[in-house]
Amino acid sequence: MRAPAKLKDVAARAGVSPAAVSRFLNGSISLPAATIERIEAAIAFFDYRPNAHARRLSLGRSDTIALVVPEIGNPFFAELAAAAERAAAAEGLGIMLFATENRLERELEYLSRLGRSDVDALLFVTNHADEDGRLAAAIGHAAQVVLLDEDVPGTGVSKVFADNVEGGRLAARALIEAGHRRLFLAGGPPALMSARERAEGFRAAAREAGLPEDSVEALAGDYTVAQGRRAAEAMLASPVGPTAVFAASDQTMLGLLEVFRARGIAVPDEVSIVTFDDVVPLAFFDPAISAIRQSIGEMGRIGVQRVIAGMKGGAAAEVIRLPIEFVPRASVAAPRDSTQAKKPTRRRP
Amino acid sequence: MRAPAKLKDVAARAGVSPAAVSRFLNGSISLPAATIERIEAAIAFFDYRPNAHARRLSLGRSDTIALVVPEIGNPFFAELAAAAERAAAAEGLGIMLFATENRLERELEYLSRLGRSDVDALLFVTNHADEDGRLAAAIGHAAQVVLLDEDVPGTGVSKVFADNVEGGRLAARALIEAGHRRLFLAGGPPALMSARERAEGFRAAAREAGLPEDSVEALAGDYTVAQGRRAAEAMLASPVGPTAVFAASDQTMLGLLEVFRARGIAVPDEVSIVTFDDVVPLAFFDPAISAIRQSIGEMGRIGVQRVIAGMKGGAAAEVIRLPIEFVPRASVAAPRDSTQAKKPTRRRP
DNA sequence: ACGGGTTAGTATACCGCTTTACTAAGATGA
DNA sequence: TCATCTTAGTAAAGCGGTATACTAACCCGT
């Protein structure tokens, strides 16, 4: 286990200068075949691999980007990480992974790694409101930060979001088309853009379908299982008796399901469900749960793309909206109590 | 947006030498309060942050470790990544994440990053057999590689595995105690240590319970949903009619469930299920699925620990077995066809 | 008044690669 | 035969820190 060979050693053995070897390796020189052969032989002889630290110091970049998310274990972020890693690897970039637990100090700390040129760029996901603007200030207008999934208002960087409004709208429409007229929205934190937009789309669709303003009852929450439980209770206690519910996230839906089951409420016979995200294996649930799916993979891919564009310089900040899709499964059916429901349309006789 | 300040600038403004500032920042010097104040003022003035590349080149390390897994989106590896990241962050280390898609070339490539001192150490998970020994050769005896979850035979590095034998045993015991006598094992790839060990434990428990050798029927597979489907078909087609099945992974279990549902086979009334891993939200399934749980978090944590020990030098390679646990839920019940089953023990009258 | 110890630092040689600008030798052309 | 061009490289200055070894000034005790 000798010390690893360095450029100098290779050069010496090939009978050329270190500069020649370096330039050869980086393709910035053209050499006669004989010399190339000698260099390659020397490289093979030493099993030479350029030292990454030296290279990075000299180049002033690391070919590494950071992905900063609230928690890695959450399947949503895991999938995001998977997509980002794939896209980055394809471009020869490495991904450093950081979890913030959604805490501001940790977010700021990871943001500061940019300043230390620890990483070249940052793919950043936060999930809480930036109350005092510190986060926005830290993000500033760095061309090397791209915001994913959730906004940090007041920042001029590139952003990639799902089309949340459309997501909310699709959910409401699916429910309304099945015949529901009293809807429940187990929504996200109103401080977050994503939650506001989804609620907005949901209500808009209700309005567009001619439902009265009070046809959608809502309870805001925090995207957790616990929120789902609370929402289920609230919904069941509601005097107007909603017959369908839109869950802000898969976690929320899990909470709903738990309470419905405990109370013996049948899905979709007694209540219909549409969830948001589609990152949990919903197809295997009983019943399989219908979902609004955002393309997380796309978000990761495009995020990496934007980040690269930013690194290459130039590219103006841009806000990108990703299309969203309704995945019909078995958790939506006509309301049982159909007194005020339109007759469900059956496609096949 | 001026060029970031460097050590030299800070030193000049504080009226000391760069060495003094460096040593001050690294705590390797003691200085009078007045000097410290000047240095700190200068640092604040410039918002100075040491350049990570320079530091790493000088120090010869990056305080970064790589986590190499087959796929990040898989909840098992996602949870592993989450735990490893947490443990690493607590020690001031960063995590670089790499997905190999279980392909040898990519594994070798990431392994080679160690040689480039791109990262200080590697947390490595593979999921395929090392047929020609190339993987083992690449891993060699580097004190900076720790193998997680699955073995690569012929390597002398530290390893952290679940107690698979005990896992298999617990699964069989749960089924047998419920009264089952004809068991089906939807196992993993026989080329993998984990699969062999689980099968071994499973059969051992059957033997220990006095069941005949042919009481467990098995079909090997590859831990996928597709495997689960195949296993279900095989099981249903079996002339001996197993009444319970042990799935090699949550994915496998998903495949089983799909087929059982399509065929109208009730769980646990007609067939009992125990799965392995417990990374999918099994508690929310209907019925909730009983599982053998390995402590993935612990695996990540301990892996990081071992890697750090290895970096500090000294620490001999070690193979660690992590305890495993049976999580009883609703998918195991007495066999309906109880002709040859013992009477199920009911705890509460 | 002098040797010795402490305090408060400094000088300098790396770490290993990249890159810009330059040159020596041979080939080409007039 | 001399000027010019091409070929095949090279020398050396960074990149921005860290660490080792050293020194200058001051204080103390005798």
Q: What is the pLDDT of residues A255-313, one digit of tens each?
A: 999 999 999 999 999 999 999 999 999 999 989 999 999 999 999 999 999 999 999 87
Could you tell me which CATH class the domain A59-161+296-323 is placed in?
alpha beta
pLDDT at A343 over 70: no
CATH architecture for segment(s) B164-294: 3-Layer(aba) Sandwich (3.40)
Starting at the earlier edge strand, list the strands of the sheet with A290-294.
A216-219, A183-186, A244-247, A272-277, A290-294, A324-327
Residues with CB under 7 A from strand C: A 3, 6-8, 18-19, 22-23, 25-26, 28, 48, 50-51, 53-55, 57-59; B 11, 15-20, 23, 29-32, 34-35, 54, 57-58, 60
Residue with CA nearest C1' of nucleotide D16 = B54
The DSSP 8-state label assigned to residue A38 in this structure reads H
Residue with CA nearest C1' of nucleotide C8 = B31
Nucleotides of C under 7 A from a protein CB: 7-12, 14-21
pLDDT attached to residue A336: 83
Q: Is B68 on the interface with A (CB under 8 A)?
A: no
The DSSP 8-state label assigned to residue A214 in this structure reads G
Quote the distance between the C-alpha of residue B282 and its chain's center.
18
Calculate mean pLDDT across residues A13-24: 97
Name the nucleotide nearest B35; use CA and C1'.
Answer: C8
pLDDT attached to residue B1: 58
Closest chain A residue by Cα to residue B285: A285
pLDDT band at A349 (very low <50, low <70, confident <90, very high): very low
Hey, are the CB atoms on A96 and B99 less than 8 Å from each other?
no
The SS3 of residue A205 is helix
Calculate mean pLDDT across residues A218-224: 94
Name the nucleotide nearest A60; use CA and C1'.
Answer: D15
A17 CB contact with strand D at below 7 Å: yes
Do B62-162+296-322 and B164-294 show the same overall fold?
yes
pLDDT at A241 over 60: yes
Distance from CA of A7 to the nearest CA of B (A): 12
**B64 contact residues in A (CB cutoff 8 A):** 96
Domain spans in chain B, listed from the N-terminal domain onward? 7-50, 62-162+296-322, 164-294
Low-confidence ranges of chain B (pLDDT < 70): 1, 337-349
Q: Is A226 on the interface with B (CB under 8 A)?
A: no
Query: Is-contact A41 A98, C-beta < 8 A?
Result: no
Q: Is A64 on the interface with B (CB under 8 A)?
A: yes
Q: Per DSSP, which regions of chain A are E strands?
A: 64-69, 94-99, 121-124, 145-148, 158-162, 183-186, 216-219, 244-247, 272-277, 290-294, 319-322, 324-327
The residue type of B28 is: S
Q: Is B6 on the interface with A (CB under 8 A)?
A: no
pLDDT attached to residue A341: 40
Closest chain A residue by Cα to residue B143: A1
A58 CB contact with strand D at below 7 Å: yes
Nucleotides of D under 7 A from a protein CB: 7-12, 14-21
Question: How large a percentage of chain A has pLDDT more than 70?
Answer: 96
- Residue A179 makes CB contacts below 8 A (sequence gap 6+) with A334, A335, A338, A341, A342, A343, A344
Distance from C-alpha of B31 to C-alpha of B22, rounded to nearest angstrom = 12
Q: Is B2 on the interface with A (CB under 8 A)?
A: no
pLDDT attached to residue B337: 60
B22 CB contact with strand D at below 7 Å: yes
pLDDT digits (tens, 9 = 90+) for A92-140: 999 999 999 999 999 999 999 999 989 999 999 999 999 999 999 999 8
pLDDT attached to residue A196: 97
Distance from CA of B207 to the nearest CA of A (A): 34
Distance from C-alpha of A223 to C-alpha of A198, rounded to nearest angstrom = 13
Hey, are the CB atoms on B52 and A116 less than 8 Å from each other?
yes
Which is nearest to B275 in space by CA: B263, B287, B262?
Answer: B287
Q: Is B285 on the interface with A (CB under 8 A)?
A: yes
Hey, are the CB atoms on A97 and B81 less than 8 Å from each other?
yes
Nearest by CB to A52, from B78, B118, B285: name it.
Answer: B118
Q: Is B107 on the interface with A (CB under 8 A)?
A: no
The CA angle A144-A146-A152, to the nearest 5 degrees, is 120
pLDDT attached to residue A342: 39
Distance in Å from D15's C1' to B21's CA comes to: 19
Distance from CA of A95 to the nearest CA of B (A): 6
- Residue A28 makes CB contacts below 8 A (sequence gap 6+) with none
pLDDT band at A337 (very low <50, low <70, confident <90, very high): low
**A94 contact residues in B (CB cutoff 8 A):** 96, 98, 118
Q: Is A94 on the interface with B (CB under 8 A)?
A: yes
Question: How large a percentage of chain B has pLDDT more than 90?
Answer: 91
B336 CB contact with strand D at below 7 Å: no
**A54 contact residues in B (CB cutoff 8 A):** 57
Hey, are the CB atoms on B79 and A64 less than 8 Å from each other?
no
Sign of CA dihedral A186, A188, A193, A196: positive
Query: Is-contact A38 A94, C-beta < 8 A?
Result: no
Q: What is the dihedral of CA A179, A183, A184, A189, to 10 degrees?
A: 110
Distance in Å from D7's C1' to A61's CA comes to: 33
Distance in Å from D30's C1' to B32's CA comes to: 30
Distance from CA of B340 to the nearest CA of A (A): 31
Nearest by CB to B280, from A49, A94, A281: name it.
Answer: A281
| CATH superfamily membership of B62-162+296-322 | Response regulator (3.40.50.2300)
pLDDT attached to residue A313: 77
B26 CB contact with strand D at below 7 Å: yes
pLDDT band at A1 (very low <50, low <70, confident <90, very high): low
**B57 contact residues in A (CB cutoff 8 A):** 51, 53-54, 56-57
